Chains A and B, each alone.
Chain A
């Protein structure tokens, strides 16, 4: 089942601008991850944030997690044309046996030169 839901569905910005994507989920989680997918091919892991963490950075990526609101955001700073892709949040639910990730429908990001 899909638990995460990304917002917006699509985002178009110019190079150099920041891009912010949001993810909401429904049940308590162990961790939340963000993945990137180029042109409907394989997904690439970007960053993981655990349920006891509030913010995490990796290069130009900044992820926040608010477990009280069951939401997360992914910020990409100083975007580049190469950042054009779909971005998915994925949650590892507490109720799982640890084998399933629940993905949202994704945010499609277009970065124009």
Chain B
């Protein structure tokens, strides 16, 4: 039990739609990172938020955006969904800016049809 919860567990969307995924971090964890994991692959870094500001971004287009709120919750928004966006989306929280131990949620499985 990592103390990080994600919702929804599963989601089915149609190409072109928009989706919002939610994450609730451990209390006291100021940093949240989002990762995309395609089937059979390792997680790929999307971006990180620290104290409600984007702190770093991976190789993902601007239609992937995020928000972090003061209550340790956060969102990942994806606009104009494409078929290749089908994946498991994981959020991970950590203390301050450290990457030395990430606490992952169970993920949201997104299917784009």
Q: Which residues of A are in contact with B by a Cβ distance under 8 Å? A: 1-2, 4, 31, 33, 35, 40-45, 48, 88, 90, 92, 96-106
* Complex interface bits, B67-109 against A, C-beta within 8 A gives 1, otherwise 0: 0000000000000000000001010100001111111111101
Q: Which residues of B are in contact with A by a Cβ distance under 8 Å? A: 2, 4, 33, 35, 37, 40-45, 48, 50, 55-56, 58-59, 88, 90, 92, 97-107, 109
Of B45, B88, B101, B107, the residue contacting A102 (CB under 8 A) is B45
Of B4, B35, B42, B92, the residue contacting A4 (CB under 8 A) is B42
Of A4, A35, A41, A106, the residue contacting B106 (CB under 8 A) is A41
Nearest B residue (CB) for A41? B106
A90 to B4, CA, bound (A): 20
**How far is the CB of A98 from the nearest CB of chain B, in Å?**
6
Question: Are A99 and B33 CB-contacts (below 8 A) given A2-B44, A41-B106, A105-B40?
Answer: yes
B99, A40: Cβ atoms closer than 8 Å? no
- Could you count the A-B residue pairs with CB atoms below 8 Å apart for me: how many are there? 77
Contacting residues, chain B, for A106 (C-beta < 8 A):
42
Contacting residues, chain B, for A40 (C-beta < 8 A):
37, 88, 107, 109
Question: Are A103 and B40 CB-contacts (below 8 A) given A42-B106, A48-B100?
Answer: no
Question: Are A44 and B40 CB-contacts (below 8 A) given A97-B56, A98-B97?
Answer: no
Contacting residues, chain B, for A102 (C-beta < 8 A):
45
